[in-house]
């Protein structure tokens, strides 16, 4: 099946879906009801339950690679099986690997083969620090979503991202947003990452990038406000957002009802997004 990230995402937006559930499935935090087996089996069982409980509410799923890489081959096999499960049972939902990859071009060739050709992801987060030339192996995948870090949600993001670039007299995050949207986006498959924890910067980036997608982490456990996020991030069509919540949804309950509890929280978040759009 030929999967195109932009087309899959647009279909979900047209359905009014902007919530991305992050499958940050930290084994240590998994409910005991799924931990009575191997790491691989537990991760797969947990992910399947979360996906089955939330599939009709989301525009995307986003596993964080570290929670799988931490367990070596077992974790990576669980990650691969999770992707296969979603693509087989819910083929219209795009899947993003939150990997924040960055390296020189030859190394990135290996990353692209692993992420797209082997694991089968539809999109990936990347770090712009090494420049466009180094990211060319990613950028050449025209059907994949290449999502570039611009203003991340963590408290210390300003250490470098807020530094003023002498060339433009603007903060670095604005310069990166401009480069990504105006220079690098030759195939129309780029997106940017801006944290919900920085609503004013989110608005500034939207004004710079136009209607390209913005992946927005930071709601839920990190405290980002949904109303401010939607107000500042929506594009000219009242779309353009991939609003991600991970721990705030998948770990709401540690009991046997974890999937049902995750769905309740996902419904609540989805309603907040919809109300914010209509408000």
Q: Give the pLDDT confidence of 115-142 residue by residue, as tens digits.
A: 999 999 999 999 999 999 999 999 999 9
pLDDT above 80 (res 223): no
Phi–psi pair at 224, nearest 5 degrees: -65, 145
CB 214, CB 146: distance < 8 Å: no
Phi–psi pair at 24, nearest 5 degrees: -85, 65
The candidate with the shortest Cα–Cα distance to 150, out of 160, 159, 161, is 161
What rounded mean pLDDT belongs to the chain? 95
- Tell me how far apart the alpha carbons of residues 268 and 52 are, in angstroms, rounded to a whole number: 17
Looking only at the bridges linking them, the beta strands covering 170-171 and 58-61 are: unpaired
The upper half-sphere exposure of residue 165, i.e. CA atoms within 13 Å in the direction of its Cβ, equals 13
Residue 105 is predicted with a pLDDT of 82
Does domain 5-278 bear CATH number 3.20.20.70?
Answer: yes
Residue 2 is predicted with a pLDDT of 81
pLDDT above 70 (res 279): no
DSSP readout, 102-144?
Answer: ---HHHHHHHHIIIIIIS--SEEEE-GGG-HHHHHHHHT-TTS
Per-residue pLDDT averaged across 242-261, rounded? Answer: 96
Alpha-helix residue ranges (DSSP H) falling in the chain = 5-14, 39-54, 66-69, 72-89, 105-112, 132-139, 158-161, 172-178, 199-209, 226-233, 247-250, 258-278
The candidate with the shortest Cα–Cα distance to 270, out of 98, 53, 47, 25, is 53
The candidate with the shortest Cα–Cα distance to 26, out of 52, 65, 58, 53, is 65
pLDDT above 90 (res 213): yes
pLDDT above 70 (res 1): no
CB 51, CB 15: distance < 8 Å: no
What band does 37 get if pLDDT is binned at 50, 70 and 90? confident
Per-residue pLDDT averaged across 34-54, rounded? Answer: 95
Phi–psi pair at 113, nearest 5 degrees: -65, -40
Q: Where are the domains of the chain?
A: 5-278
Looking only at the bridges linking them, the beta strands covering 190-194 and 58-61 are: unpaired
Which residues participate in catalysis according to the annotation? 100
pLDDT above 90 (res 222): no
pTM of this structure? 0.97
Residue 221 is predicted with a pLDDT of 64
Per-residue pLDDT averaged across 188-209, rounded? Answer: 97
Phi–psi pair at 222, nearest 5 degrees: -90, -10
């Amino acid at each position: 099946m030929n999967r195109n990230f932009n087309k899959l995402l647009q279909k979900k937006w047209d359905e009014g879906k902007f919530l991305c559930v992050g499958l940050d499935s930290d084994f240590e935090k998994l409910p005991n009801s799924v931990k009575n087996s191997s790491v691989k089996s537990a991760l797969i069982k947990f992910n399947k339950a979360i996906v089955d409980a939330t599939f009709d509410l989301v525009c995307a799923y986003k596993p964080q690679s570290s929670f799988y890489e931490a367990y070596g081959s077992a974790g990576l096999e669980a990650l691969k099986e999770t992707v296969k499960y979603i693509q087989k049972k819910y083929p219209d939902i795009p899947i993003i690997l939150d990997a924040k990859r960055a390296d020189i071009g030859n190394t990135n060739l290996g990353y692209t083969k692993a992420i797209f050709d082997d694991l089968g992801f539809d999109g990936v987060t990347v770090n712009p620090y090494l420049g466009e030339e180094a990211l060319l192996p990613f950028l050449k995948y025209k059907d994949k979503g290449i999502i570039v870090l611009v203003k991340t949600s963590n408290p210390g993001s300003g250490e470098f991202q807020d530094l003023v670039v002498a060339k433009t007299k603007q903060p670095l995050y604005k310069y990166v947003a401009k480069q990504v949207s105006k220079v690098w986006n030759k195939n129309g498959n780029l997106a940017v990452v801006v944290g919900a924890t920085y609503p004013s910067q989110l608005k500034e980036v939207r004004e710079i990038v136009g209607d390209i997608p913005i992946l927005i982490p930071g709601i839920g456990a990190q405290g980002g406000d949904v109303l401010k996020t939607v107000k500042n991030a929506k594009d000219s069509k009242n779309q353009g957002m991939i609003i991600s919540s991970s721990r705030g949804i998948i770990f709401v309950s540690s009991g046997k009802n974890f999937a049902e509890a995750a769905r309740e929280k996902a419904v609540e978040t989805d309603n907040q997004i919809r109300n914010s759009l209509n408000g």
